[in-house]
Amino acid sequence: MPYGAIRYETSDGVAVITLARGQVMNALNTSMRAEITDALHRAGADARVVVLTGEGRAFCAGQDLGDGTDLATLDLERVLREEYAPMLASMHNCPVPVIAAVNGVAAGAGANLALAADVVIAAESAGFIQAFTRIGLLPDAGGTWFLPRLVGQARAMGAALFAERISARQAADWGMIWEAVADVDFDHHWRARAAELAKGPTRAYLAVRRAMLAGAGNDLAAQLALEAQLQGALGIGRDFAEGIAAFHEKRPPRFEGR
Ligand code: LHQ
């Protein structure tokens, strides 16, 4: 699929998807959703980590509200089921870890797209806005699933009802994201983080995601059984053997992601 609404680059095991509609703050339209979905599938084969970021001063302003579509007659249920859900699923099920490098404002579905990543790193000047109720909607793109898990019910409800801008620093303090980084260091920092994960034990990272997310729906016995099952599979993998060898040889491990 040729890309026009995003850019896709890979190097040294890192795939970078850049939302590239800077003139509208990288607002999401049908093409961009299809391209992100496609690129996430591709990245799973091309790289050992994928980074989602935005061009210009925004990460993503959510649904494109100004592309001429008559929003009053748009079938929102269809758009969410057929275009947003596959995009979120391709992120959530991506066979390599996903980093959202939030370079600027992330609003509406743009905020929740970021929160679907495994790790969110934001520039200090960035912010997150659950903008939906400002236009009479509820948080979609997974917002009602991710937000309460990340920050708890009280903060999720406040963020949705007041629809205020939550600064990157506050988001980090709340545990909504992994870290807020000074703007001058941001680019270098997320690239270093991505490079680190690209050299890591990919299968272990995916097992971490799976177990962490399953925990909310499991009782302790079921979760211990899942951990045992996943650890059993990792225990016969090459990366575990390499990790143990490196430990004994007092050297950094050379993981292959297998
Ligand atoms: C935009 C947008 C935008 C187009 C800024 N679209 N142009 C799913 C299913 C289907 C339909 C409904 O929605 C959904 C899910 C959703 O995502 S609903 C939520 C949609 N997003 C929003 O409500 C956010 C709207 N934008 C804003 O609140 C502000 O623009 C933010 C806070 C993002 C940035 O504020 P400022 O930094 O003050 O910039 P600005 O407002 O001046 O915007 C700059 C330009 O970007 C401007 O264009 P212009 O030609 O005047 O320079 C905006 O019109 C354009 N823009 N967001 N979503």
CATH number at residue 150: 3.90.226.10
256 within domain boundaries? no
152 & 133 share domain = yes
Please state, in angstroms and rounded to a whole number, the distance separating the CA atoms of residues 254 and 63.
42
Please say which residue of 158, 180, 198 terminates a domain: 198
Whole-number Å distance, alpha carbon 61 to ligand 1 midpoint, is 5
The string of pLDDT tens digits covering residues 178-225 is 999 999 999 999 999 999 999 999 999 999 999 999 999 999 999 999
Indicate which atom in ligand 1 lies nearest the CA of residue 63: 17
pLDDT of residue 68: 87
pLDDT of residue 72: 86
157 & 231 share domain = no
**How many alpha carbons fall within 13 Å on the CB side of residue 193?**
24
Kindly report the protein residue whose alpha carbon is nearest to atom 7 of ligand 1. Answer: 24
Q: How confident is the model at residue 70 (pLDDT cuts 50, 70, 90)?
A: confident
257 within domain boundaries? no
pLDDT of residue 117: 98
Please state the domain count of the chain: 2
Instruction: Summarize the confidence of residues 29-36 as an average pLDDT.
Output: 97
Q: How confident is the model at residue 127 (pLDDT cuts 50, 70, 90)?
A: very high
Instruction: Summarize the confidence of residues 106-113 as an average pLDDT.
Output: 98
pLDDT of residue 32: 98
Give residues with Cβ within 8 angstroms of 175, minimum separation 6. Answer: 150, 151
Please state, in angstroms and rounded to a whole number, the distance separating the CA atoms of residues 6 and 61.
14
- Give the residue numbers spanning the domain of 213: 202-249
49 & 156 share domain = yes
Please state, in angstroms and rounded to a whole number, the distance separating the CA atoms of residues 2 and 96.
22
Kindly report the protein residue whose alpha carbon is nearest to atom 8 of ligand 1. Answer: 63
158 & 207 share domain = no
Token pair for 200: 């890591």
- Please provide the average confidence, as pLDDT, over all residues in the chain: 97
pLDDT at 155 over 90: yes
Whole-number Å distance, alpha carbon 65 to ligand 1 midpoint, is 7
Q: Residue 128: name the closest of 108, 143, 106, 113 by CA.
A: 106
Whole-number Å distance, alpha carbon 247 to ligand 1 midpoint, is 50
Kindly report the protein residue whose alpha carbon is nearest to atom 40 of ligand 1. Answer: 25
Which has more confidence, 87 or 68? 87
Please state, in angstroms and rounded to a whole number, the distance separating the CA atoms of residues 248 and 243.
9
Instruction: Summarize the confidence of residues 241-256 as an average pLDDT.
Output: 98
pLDDT at 157 over 90: yes
pLDDT of residue 6: 98
76 & 129 share domain = yes
CATH of the domain at 242: 1.10.12
75 within domain boundaries? yes
Give residues with Cβ within 8 angstroms of 146, minimum separation 6. Answer: 112, 115, 116
pLDDT of residue 33: 98
Q: How confident is the model at residue 112 (pLDDT cuts 50, 70, 90)?
A: very high
**Residue of 28, 36, 63 with the most ligand 1 atoms within 8 Å of its CB, for mutation:** 63
pLDDT at 69 over 90: no
143 within domain boundaries? yes
44 & 75 share domain = yes
55 & 96 share domain = yes
- The fraction of the chain above a pLDDT of 70, given in percent, is 100
114 within domain boundaries? yes
Kindly report the protein residue whose alpha carbon is nearest to atom 57 of ligand 1. Answer: 61
pLDDT of residue 209: 97
Kindly report the protein residue whose alpha carbon is nearest to atom 25 of ligand 1. Answer: 61
pLDDT of residue 258: 79
- Where does ligand 1 bind, in terms of residues with CB under 6 Å? 24-25, 27, 61-66, 76, 79-80, 105, 107-109, 129, 131-132, 134-135, 137, 140
Number of neighbouring beta carbons within 10 Å of residue 232? 9
